[in-house]
Amino acid sequence: MTSKIIFMGTPEFSVPSLKLLNLKHKVLSVYTQPPRKKSRGQKIIKSAVHVEAENLKLPIRFPENLNNDSDYKFIKDSNAKIVVVVAYGQIIPKKFLNIKNLIFLNIHASLLPRWRGAAPIQRSIMQMDKKTGISIMKIVPKLDAGPYMLQKSINIELKDNFMSLSNKLSEIGSYMILEAISLLEKGKSQFTDQDEKLATYAKKINKKESQIMWNELSQKLIAKINGLNPYPGAWFEHNGNRIKILDAEIFEDKGKAGEVLSNNLIIGCKDKAIKINLIQKEGKKVIDTKSFLAGYKISKGDILK
């Protein structure tokens, strides 16, 4: 059976779901965030979903926000039965959620009620969770608080970073939403209320929070580096330069917190040390440590702040 669907999504995480839904169902329209000017220069950048929707020749709408009569009327009159939301980046107004005979389903990248909010993948890695997963949930006015229909968990591997885990979860979510729609079509869907006592919130990452504090435990530092790779990136300052660490590993050595223990960037922290493998000076490309040190001086004995 083919369902009429409106799709709402923005980043690369949303693209696999859009592709599969377009193959199996009738996507009436795609909503995404508006094109933005790149931070440097005037180039206009379309979202990953916008680009994919153009490739699929699907109608696209990109309002600055949904609080307008035009989009409300469009969705209300669309004859869609389901709106699938995948990291859209906007709150769905209550009046949209109250449209008769229309259900809003969200693909959320955590095992709800843990990690409601904007950054569940980053938070799960940074907090050294052993597992995470996908929840297919009904959207309600309260943030990520709706009942869920399906959940699937996966292990967070030691070397997982934000990008690798995001890719795994986006693929899983794309197949789970097909299963959820099939259950709805057959009248076999069942929803489970979340336990509010277990709710935790994954607030958006800010740049100050992503600064490396060398007096943290080595495991905690690695979790931060992995969770924030590639964006916004865990960083430290050196001689007025902001430098990101994209990949590192725990090293069995000891020194003062922030002390450079070798000439290949082994840095002391609270308990052991970390060895930096991939690094990036602000505005430059990501490179390996050896290449970085060939053009930038950080010496053994320096204390990083």
Q: Please name each of the domains of the chain with its CATH number.
A: 4-198 (3.40.50.170), 218-295 (3.10.25.10)
Q: What angle do CA 205, 132, 122 make, to 5 degrees?
A: 15
What pLDDT, in 10s, does the model give residues 105-127?
999 999 999 999 999 999 999 99
- pLDDT given at position 231: 87
pTM: 0.94
R_g (Cα) of the chain, nearest Å: 22
pLDDT of residue 208: 85
Q: How far apart are alpha carbons 66 and 219 in whole angstroms?
A: 42
Q: Residue 13's pLDDT is what?
A: 98
Q: Is 111 exposed, middle or buried (0-12, 13-18, 19+ CB in 10 A)?
A: buried
List of the chain residues with pLDDT < 50: none
Query: 21 CB contacts (<8 Å, ≥6 apart)?
Result: 5, 7, 27, 84, 174, 177, 178
**The pLDDT value given to residue 39:** 64
Per-residue confidence (pLDDT) for residue 38, from 0 to 100: 74
